[in-house]
Amino acid sequence: MAETHRVGRLRGSFAAADALLKAYSASARVNQYLVQELPPAVWRAPSPLPKGRTIAALVAHLHNCGLRYLARTAPGVSVPAELDRIRVTPAQATRALGAKRRAVLAIVGTALKGDGRIAGFPYDAAGYLAYYMVHDAHHRGQIVLQARLLGHPISRQTMIGMWQWSKRAKE
């Protein structure tokens, strides 16, 4: 019952829906920005952590998560393919992350302004955006730490750039 009530309030609030979509878009562009700025030496380097993934695998995971919900919610809308965690290149990842961002904005934007549902996802469309922004931020933190542990810390300029959401939103 509480979920339905929340969805109902969101449906009437286009300003809130637009703000959520803008925040998600900026966050998703930060993912692309980070991939573009990574030192090439870290992309496929074995993780220094026990049972850790390569940075390529982390980025593939970041991209692949949530795609099945998008495909279920809007079967007629183009949803990007999953990335292969072993073979993906930074250029492929950057393009795929951009395609996912556009798909999320289209599909979740429609859901926010409609019934608020994301098929198969346990929460409403606003929850979907919040969940995946937090998920992505978690993995960005892992990527930054892993690059540092591999001896290739992310530059200060890139770290600052990751927090320039207003700039990322305009890209």
Looking at residue 109, its pLDDT comes to 92
Residue 133's identity, in one-letter code, is M
Pick the CATH number of 2-170 from 1.20.120.450, 1.20.810.10, 3.30.2130.30, 1.20.1440.120: 1.20.120.450
Comparing CA positions, the residue from 126, 116, 160 lying closest to residue 23 is 126
pLDDT digits (tens, 9 = 90+) for 36-88: 999 999 999 999 999 999 999 999 999 999 998 999 998 888 899 999 999 99
Range 97-121 average pLDDT: 93
Determine what percent of the chain falls in helix, strand and coil, rounding each to the nearest 5. 70, 0, 30
Range 80-99 average pLDDT: 97
Q: Are 37 and 154 in contact (CB under 8 A)?
A: yes
Domain extents for the chain? Answer: 2-170
pLDDT above 60: residue 26: yes
Give Cα 131 distance to the centre of its chain: 10
Looking at residue 165, its pLDDT comes to 83
The per-residue pLDDT of the chain, averaged, comes to: 90
Strand partners, 124: 117
The H or E element containing residue 23 is helix 14-37
Q: pLDDT class for 114, splitting at 50, 70, 90? A: confident
Looking at residue 1, its pLDDT comes to 36
pLDDT above 80: residue 97: yes
Looking at residue 13, its pLDDT comes to 55
Q: Are 142 and 149 in contact (CB under 8 A)?
A: no
Q: pLDDT class for 170, splitting at 50, 70, 90? A: low
pLDDT digits (tens, 9 = 90+) for 30-48: 999 999 999 999 999 999 9
